Structure 1
Amino acid sequence: MGVVKTKNVPVLRFSEFSDPWMMDRIDNFVKRVSNPVTVEPNTFYREIGVRSHGKGIFHKEPVTGKSLGNKRVFWVHPKAFVVNIVFGWEQAVALTTATEEGFIASHRFPMFVPIGKKSDLDFLLLFFLRKRGKYLLELASPGGAGRNKTLGQSEFAQLEVTLPALAEQKKIAAFLAVVEKKLDALRRQGEQLHAYKRGVMQKIFSQELRFNADDGSGFPDWEEHEFEQIVFRVADKIDINKSDVLLPCIELDSLESGTGRLLTSYDCSTQVSIKGKFKAGDVLFGKLRPYLRKYHQPSFQGACSSEIWVLRGTGITQKFLYYLVQTNRFDGGVNQFV
């Protein structure tokens, strides 16, 4: 199939571009590059790997040619689009750079470069990190789950992608690179703020840092209590199959480690097991692998996994409890409480 014109152009577009976007097969605008390595038994080599979800390339430890055995390996092209065929369906795609020059890759990491001036690799990577790109990678990865869903290279070559002209591809990729750089800076700033908050909390709960009342007088000394004396675990349950109430459901993977953020919730109608029940303001704490520090204080009522404690204070406020479960001291004792 040749190039096909399409009206599938973005609503938001740079004003200097007006040409229609074109639908084309992958193998019409990129080609595979393959430079086999003649492996020497006593020479050391370093392989690359590609992480899922667009998390980039990582470098493996050096190994001797002898340890590679009969494994087919290829020199890494320093500017190529690379895909991990085992986890392509999980968006294990990346771009190689000059940093990878001299590295090797197995046959599971095919590399592609542009044909002529038809495509920009930065734009191509951005495309495959979108939902549409993920769908196409899944389409080219027939089979069951996990390692059975290997990307078929013939199927990949036949995928059809909608592309603007090269100049517009470059403009889009450059613009989004600037946006991503700013997002990275904000993420780092957020991480620093979380670290600062956690450090202050440790000082407060260890009583290294104390506050005074508004009149300048000191607060009374803290009292020691058993956790069970001031907090109880809510045992309310809900059988999703027998309930007519539609509640949002929080699973362990709904909670982001170390931040208290709720990443997502699920429709209870899609669940089958008996769940815990919580109210707005309760404190949720993931009891499975507690070192992951998964906690949250919901502003709504709902259901949650049996792997999550629902905690409610009796002698302390809910907000104090929410900060208490984030402390090192709680981490140290929580394994005895599980």
Structure 2
Amino acid sequence: MKIPNSWKKVQFGDVVSKINDKVSNREEWIFNRYIGGEHFDEGEIRVTKSAPIEGNEEVIGSAFHMRFKPGQVLYVTRNPRLRKGGMVNFEGVCSNVSFVMEANETKLLQSLLPFVIQTEDFVKHTCNNAHGSTNPFLNWKDIANYEFLLPPLVEQKKINEVLWGVENSIIKLEIYLQKLRSFQDKIITNLLKPKKGGKLTKFGEIIKLSKEKSQAPYGNLKYLGLEHIDSGVSICNKFSDANNVKSVTSVFKKGDILYGKLRPYLDKAVIASFDGICTTEILVINANDKTTNDFLMLHIRTKDFIDYNTRLGFGTKMPRTSVEIISNYEIYLPSISEQKILLNTTNKLNKLIADVNKNKASLKNLRNKLSNELLKGELRLD
């Protein structure tokens, strides 16, 4: 491809610096949030999730000593295919597995940096230059030698305006979704309240756990990992090719409930929209004849259920719930006919949330397409 006029080819390390703001002494920490690998969502421009330091001291290992500040960009160096990186808008600490980066703004706008690291060319470069097979990783030099086309600052500002225009539209939808989900949770919690004198039923009495497992080679099956499931979303259309999976997996069918037992506070549970295999960190659940999967999902989505599993989960660095814990969760179970009425009441709100999520996904696809084309000079803003 011909290089556009006034554009030039540069190496990533010539326009971006790795910031080593090391704060090993925890008594000097003046911030109250930390970011771990679990807080990054695949392919995002912003890192919006984090966790409080207080109460998680045992989870935060000695590797967590890299301070980041608002406006800086974080990039996870493990498993680059997961595309974990983005800009932060608060101060905190992350582990040394994540690079903290700043652009030299005489050459590259800092606000464009998160878009650069999510381009297809950057991801391809990092995957091809990663070391190791089981848990591939990158050193700074592997990223620093990435070559890409750099437009002049005048054109960067135009590109920046377009890309952040789309991203800001996504942010508005996210705020709207938060309000809808909060409203939904209040409605569902109220609808699911036990009737006076109503008998409580344990989850274990109304669910069936699939124990079907599979082993490599998997051929062309669809593989679902926890990284493919977005928090708080009941449908997942993302997956990867199972050819690269070597471990034992669980088998699931379309319509099954897939519940992520690792870090239950992340609220990762969906109803499968296709057949496939998944990590054993995901439980494959179905309702028995006393209820339906849709009704179970109403409970799984509630704050009470999430808090219950988070509170009783075990493990410090990798907290998880279990079948036993889930099975002991108690709910009021109305008749099937009453369950249908409750589901009809919530379906309109569910459809609205699904439509907003669909619009959000469309905007993300547009953002990604524009990022790749604008930052390669294939699409010009005259």
The bucket for the TM-score relative to the shorter chain is 0.5 to 0.7
Q: Which residue of 2 aligns with 1:113?
A: 104
- For 1:203, give the aligned amino acid: N
Equivalent in the alignment of 1:174: 161
Aligned 8 A contact 2:250 2:279 in 1: yes
RMSD: 5.3
Identity of aligned residues (%): 18
Instruction: Give, in angstroms, the shift of residue 31 of structure 1.
Output: 8.1
- Helix, strand or coil at the partner of 2:298: helix
- C-alpha spacing 1:227/1:298, structure 2 compared with 1 (3 Å): same
Contact map agreement 2:79 2:135 (CA 8 A) in 1: no
Asked if structure 1 preserves the Cα contact closer than 8 Å seen for 2:18 and 2:100, the reply is no
Matched, 1:299 2:273: yes
The residue number in structure 2 matching 1:22 is 8
CA 1:198–1:51: 2 relative to 1, 3 Å: same
Q: After TM superposition, list the pairs within 5 Å mapping 1:45-194 onto structure 2.
A: 55=46, 111-115=102-106, 119-136=108-125, 149-152=138-141, 158-194=145-181
Q: Is the 8 A contact 2:74 2:88 kept in 1?
A: no
State the 1:24 CA deviation: 3.3
Q: Paired residue for 2:230, among 242, 250, 256?
A: 256
How many residues align structurally? 284
Q: Is the 8 A contact 2:102 2:110 kept in 1?
A: no
Range moving further from structure 2, 163-172 or 319-328: 319-328
In structure 1, what is the Cα distance between the partners aligned to 2:8 and 2:159? 16
1:320 paired to 2:295 = yes
1:336 deviates by 5.7
Look up the SS of the partner of 1:315 in the other structure: coil
Q: CA deviation at 1:141?
A: 7.2
User: Match for residue 376 of structure 2?
Assistant: none
Q: Equivalences for 1:257-272 in 2 at 5 Å? A: 257-262=231-236, 264-272=238-246
Taking structure 2 as the reference length, what is the TM-score of the superposition?
0.53
- State the secondary structure of the residue aligned to 1:296: strand
Query: How far apart are 1:121 and its partner, in Å?
Result: 3.8
- Structure 1 residues 281 and 156, CA, compared in 2 at 3 Å: closer, same or farther? closer
Other-structure match for 1:337: 327
Aligned partner letter, 2:207: F
CA shift, 1:188, in A, is 1.2
1:26–1:156: 8 Å Cα contact kept in structure 2? yes
Residue aligning to 2:377: none
Report how far residue 133 of structure 1 moved.
Answer: 2.9
Higher relative contact order (CA 8 A, sep 6+): 2
Unmatched 5+ stretches in structure 2 = 22-27, 54-67, 310-323, 329-382
Q: Does the aligned pair in 1 maintain the 2:208–2:287 contact within 8 Å?
A: yes
Give 1:200's aligned amino acid: I
- Structure 1, unmatched stretches of 5+, are 1-5, 10-18, 37-43, 62-75, 101-105, 209-220
Find the aligned partners of 1:284 and 1:85 in 2 and give their Cα distance: 26
CA–CA distance in structure 1, aligned partners of residues 133 and 217 of structure 2: 32
Q: Is contact 2:73-2:113 (8 Å) kept?
A: no
1:305-333 C-alpha deviation (Å, 9 max, x unpaired): 43413222311233222213333555548
How far is the alpha carbon of 1:172 from its aligned partner? Answer: 0.6
**Maintained 8 Å contact 1:85/1:150:** no
Larger radius of gyration: 1
Structure 1 residues 168 and 45, CA gap change in structure 2 (3 angstroms)? same
More helix by share: 2
- Residue 197 of structure 1 aligns with which residue? 184
Whether contact under 8 Å (1:50, 1:84) holds in the other structure is: no
